[in-house]
Chain A
Amino acid sequence: MATETLTIGKALNTGLRRALENDPKVIIMGEDVGKLGGVFRITDGLQKDFGDQRVIDTPLAESGIIGTAVGLAIRGYRPVCEIQFDGFVYPAYDQIVSQVAKMHYRSRGKLSIPMVIRIPFGGGIGAVEHHSESPEAYFAHTAGLKVVSCANPQDAYVMIQQAIASDDPIVFLEPKRRYWEKGQVDLDAPLSDAYPLHSARVVRPGTDVTVLAYGPMVRTCLEAATAAAEDGRELEVIDLRSLSPLDLSAAYESVKRTGRAVVVHEAPSNIGLGAELAARITEECFYSLESPVLRVTGFDTPYPAARVEEEYLPDLDRVLDAVDRTFGW
């Protein structure tokens, strides 16, 4: 078993490399993905090794990146598009929701758009406006798209390859503040068997409260669970991994055992993923619940200036506070 210690960023890079090696139809396209290797260096070295026909520096226009990728997909390619930052995806929004998401349906299955749209998302890196957003609800709300987010190097490596291999169009959200975090990666990990792309995973078992998170908040929740354990509470942390479709069976099973649920995400609470999870869990686990499903989220403001983002972002204390409140009913 070839195991290496990699950062999430390097794991993504290695996964992309594997995908390029395994399928000549895979192409990477985006702004600065070539010589620079992307502003986060996720595509570092790929153009050098696979050429500028496979790793394409595009003109600076997001709608064009996605729109031309639609045509390439119709032609039989498997485009992997990089959107440089979350807040830059909106010029491509129409192409993503009106074209990428609907082409299969529109053609009654005659066309597929096996596209991956990689978006570094979320805050916590002290960036300026438009560089720290969490747009997942927009995409998860759109039928025809699938949305996933990785939270550790092993998943980053496996999930990016699974997403590229999938015939579904997938928005792939990368937790940019965690790009530099390291972990063990099994480079021979099977792509389909152990963890299907659209499955949630219990990343820390517990008995008292189910904490649901994805992407950058998984680590925050794991830290909260460690802290809670010192107070004698065992939090069960679930990494949702797939935001659309949600893998709810893991959540239901857990909540029926613990009786309590807290959903944590950076995105604003209003009409967010947390609302969907709370509604679903309430409907399915009503007689098991000891308290309402609570949400710990960003606020319903535009992403604020960097000097106050630590207050905006859910942190260990806010998660623990919500856990406390679930015991107050």
Chain B
Amino acid sequence: MAKGDPGGTTRSRRAAPRSRKGATGDPELVQLLTPEGERIDSVTGPDGTEYRVDFTDEEYRGLYRDLVLVRKLDAEATALQRQGELGIWASLLGQEAAQVGSGRALRTQDMAFPTYREHGVLYCRGIDPIMPLGLFRGVDQGGWDPNEFKFNMYTIVIGAQTLHATGYAMGITMDGKTGTDDGEAVIAYFGDGATSQGDVNEAFVWAGVFNAPMVFFCQNNQYAISEPLERQTRIPLYQRAAGFGFPGVRVDGNDVLATYAVTRTALDNARHGQGPSLIEAYTYRMGAHTTSDDPTRYRIASEVEAWQAKDPIARVKTFLEKQKIADADFFAEIDEQARRESVDLRERVLAMPDPEPVTMFDHVYPNGSPLLDEQRAQFSRYMESFEGSAH
């Protein structure tokens, strides 16, 4: 590689450009950055599609910043839960590349339908990272405007959002908003466990039948709470797509570059009217499913260690260092930014007020309901009866 040549193009920096099918020891896995921080020029996926990225140095550094910030904010939320400030937290630790890679692949006009773990995608959509903490703190149900940010509300029932995404994508087609570079596409996030749900399979059927501009993005983090992948499937998940009549691809979900490339390609195919596809981002949830479970009960330390060696951030850092795209000052600056933002997040979470109790009656119906209004009035009178008392 053209080391010490920051002014050169991305291509010129690749000392040993390689194009190959699959990646290290796993022909099924699309990978552009190895766990050792080695760049792979391009990869041909199982369906013959060639995947590559062409980032500027600034863009590489931006991806690194995203990964570090997202991990730090997630760690802060976990700490806040441990200190009793959040009721529960669903950590994304280990899945940063899958989320940042796919999240950065979205164009402004694309719509995302998340689960409750997509804090990294939420961050990429430009939403204040404090937003999901209100949900987990119990002061609201997530406060962002889904239409403004093109990022729907978190969905807790497993797989339900894949149908919403598919319907939304059908609407895009009905609106005539596909077929051009400006076309819109939809991405639905779900996990390996969700692939067992009827809704996800129905969404596959619908998306296929209606050729919806849809990307199904499965973060296979290997566990549905305690249940391993073998409890959900007997074939690789990406292969399920074939049965529904659209392409499926498995990408190294710990590789932010490959995740970006694969997602961008799938979204572009969708927006150009080529219909749905399934991406299986092969990754690992390093922490617990949520702060309520204990992963040491259901998985062994050596497995976790093996995945630690594939850490999505470490490999980008190695790459940036090796290629002299970033220096120690840069890494220190990012760490400092992450520290500042997590402190800021902490302070703002602690300052989050409880909602006024009467607001629980708000927004049940767009058009209201007389019986609910009556109940609200009764409740208000009841609450007012305590005013001035020792309560």
Contacts and interface: CB of A to CB of B under 8 A. Distances in A.
On whether the two chains bind one another, the answer is: yes
B257 interface: no
A111 interface: yes
Contact of A64 (B152, B168, B199): B199
Interface string A104-127: 111111111010000000000000
B379 to A, nearest CB: 14
Interface in A235-283: 245-248
Given A53-B174, A71-B163, A107-B146, A63 B198 contact: yes
Interface centre among B141, B143, B199, B370 (most CB of A within 10 A): B199
A73 B147 CA distance: 12
A77 B160 contact: no
A112 B366 contact: yes
A325 interface: no
A69 B160 CA distance: 12
B141 A71 contact: no
Nearest to A108: B363
Contacts of B168: 71-72, 74-75
A146 interface: yes
B142 A106 contact: yes
Interface in B310-332: none
Interface in A76-103: 76-77, 79, 91, 94-95, 98-99, 103
A324 interface: no
Contacts of A45: none
A220 interface: no
Contact of A71 (B142, B171, B363): B171
B160 A99 contact: yes
Interface centre among A76, A91, A94, A106 (most CB of B within 10 A): A106
B364 A68 contact: no
A190 interface: no
Nearest to B143: A108
Contacts of A104: 363-366
Given A59-B202, A64-B205, A99 B364 contact: no
B206 interface: yes
A316 interface: no
A198 to B, nearest CB: 8
Nearest to B177: A75
B202 A74 contact: no
Given A67-B203, A104-B364, A99 B164 contact: yes
B152 A74 contact: yes
Given A67-B202, A71-B164, A95-B163, A105 B171 contact: no
Contacts of B113: 71
Interface string A49-60: 000010000110
A71 B113 CA distance: 10
B383 interface: no
Interface in A199-256: 245-248
Given A98-B160, A143-B364, A166-B367, A111 B171 contact: no
Contacts, number: 140
B179 interface: no
A111 B146 contact: yes
Contact of A91 (B142, B146, B162, B198): B198
B371 A245 contact: yes
Contacts of B167: 67-75, 79
A110 B145 contact: yes
* Interface residue tally on A, bucketed by range: 35 or more
Contacts of A112: 366
A69 B169 CA distance: 11
A27 B171 CA distance: 11
Interface in A284-306: none
Contacts of B145: 107, 110
Interface string B147-158: 100001101010
A181 interface: no
B1 interface: no
Contact of A111 (B153, B206, B209): B153
A108 B131 CA distance: 13
Interface in B5-50: none
A117 B209 CA distance: 22
Contacts of B166: 67-68, 71
B336 interface: no
B165 interface: yes
Interface string B167-185: 1111110110000000000
Contacts of B369: 146, 198, 245
B293 interface: no
A186 interface: no
B140 interface: yes
A144 interface: yes
B366 A109 contact: yes
Contacts of A68: 163-164, 166-167, 170, 203, 206
B305 interface: no
Contacts of B372: 143, 245
Contacts of B203: 64, 67-68
Contacts of A107: 141-142, 145-146, 153, 363
B172 A75 contact: yes
B362 interface: yes
Nearest to B145: A110
B199 A146 contact: no
Interface centre among A66, A67, A108 (most CB of B within 10 A): A67
Given A59-B205, A70-B167, A99-B164, 10 more contacts: A59-B206, A66-B163, A71-B169, A71-B171, A72-B171, A74-B168, A95-B160, A104-B365, A106-B141, A111-B153
8 contacts: A61-B205, A67-B163, A74-B168, A75-B172, A94-B157, A94-B199, A99-B160, A144-B365
Interface of A: 27, 53, 58-59, 61, 63-64, 66-77, 79, 91, 94-95, 98-99, 103-112, 114, 143-144, 146, 166-168, 198, 245-248
